[in-house]
Amino acid sequence: MWFIRLSNSVFAAATPARHIKCLGLALVLASTAVAADDSVTGETAPEPLFTVLNPIGIAPALLRKSMAARPASLDGKTVFLVDVTFNSGDLFLLEMQKWMAANMPEVNTIFRVKKGSVYQDDPELWREMQAADAMMVMAIGH
């Protein structure tokens, strides 16, 4: 039987409690496996008692896409100001729309609220922007 003592002074300042709990769980599992090997009687466990899997996995390869070309000017262009309803992004975009109307009157701005969350598709909005040959500013947050 193994007894393991972890000094609180070693881990208290530098290690969060969840790390100590994970370490404790790993030590319990390891001690269970070692306890299965009874060295007093000479008997060994026929199979390992647990299997550890790596939850990270392997990410698929990413296909890189280049950014859209920047226009030389916004004069005569349409810019959609798209809100995804995250932490008052609409207030920011509406202020941006006011500023653009006062300082860039030659730019047409259209405010829209995207359907669903930031991760959900909104094909109707994308078609509207594509039909207007427009650009977009999306207020995602953070």
Cα 74-75-79 angle, rounded to 5 deg? 50
Cα 29-6-33 angle, rounded to 5 deg? 15
| End-to-end Cα, the chain, rounded Å | 51
> What rounded mean pLDDT belongs to the chain?
78
Helix H or strand E encompassing 125? helix 123-131
Structure tokens at 91: 């207030």
Percentage of the chain with pLDDT > 90? 39
pTM, two decimals, is 0.54
Instruction: Report, as an integer, the average pLDDT of 36-56.
Output: 68
User: What sections of 54-117 are H helices per DSSP?
Assistant: 89-103
pLDDT for residue 128: 95
Q: Best-predicted range by mean pLDDT among 66-70, 87-91, 120-124?
A: 120-124
Q: What is the pLDDT of residues 104-138, one digit of tens each?
A: 999 999 999 999 887 889 999 999 999 999 999 99
Whether 139 contacts 84, CB under 8 Å: yes
Count helices and strands (H / E) in the chain.
Answer: 4, 3
Structure tokens at 18: 């969840």
Residue with tokens 């006011």: 98
Q: Domain boundaries in the chain?
A: 1-56, 78-139
